[in-house]
Amino acid sequence: MKELEVQGSIFLVMATGIKNGQRPVPLLAFPGRTQAEEWQAELIGYHISSPDMPAGDDAALWKEYDAQLKAWRDAHPAGVAVSDYQHFGVYEVPLGM
């Protein structure tokens, strides 16, 4: 088998927080590591800004929390499908021919 010639790299941001059998999900690729890490930091910052869970069993508070959580998921920078992921990684992917 012919050895591949590496012709640069891209940097792939992936949702990697595996829970309940979730698999890693590739999200976006960037031409530079800095851009990828900046978006990764945005995703992590967004993740830790989720609405606070109410204490107690007040149905009105839980209903309000559910609405806030839905709005937070809908506005997630990486999309609703990965809003429950807890970790986001940057991976270098070599390009070759």
pLDDT of residue 93: 94
Classify strands 25-30 and 88-96 as parallel, antiparallel or unpaired: unpaired
What sign for the dihedral angle of Cα 57, 60, 64, 70? positive
Question: How many domains, the chain?
Answer: 1
| Residue with more model confidence, 5 or 64 | 64
Q: Residue 16: inside a domain, yes or no?
A: yes
Query: What would the pLDDT profile of 36-66 be if each residue is shown by its tens digit?
Result: 999 999 999 998 999 999 988 889 999 999 9
Split at pLDDT 50, 70, 90, the class of 1 is: low
Amino acid at 61: L
Res 77 pLDDT > 70: yes
* pLDDT, the chain, mean: 90
Q: What is the pLDDT of residue 89?
A: 95
The reply to whether 1 falls in a domain is: no
Domain extent at residue 20? 6-96
Residue with tokens 């978006």: 39
Q: Where are the alpha helices (DSSP H) in 18-87?
A: 33-47, 59-74
Residue 38 maps to a domain = yes
pLDDT at 12: 97
Q: Dihedrals φ, ψ of 89, to 5°? A: -115, 155
Q: In what order do the strands lie in the sheet with 88-96?
A: 25-30, 6-15, 88-96
Look at residue 18 and tell me whether its pLDDT is greater than 70: no
Residue 77 placed within a domain: yes
pLDDT score of 17 = 72
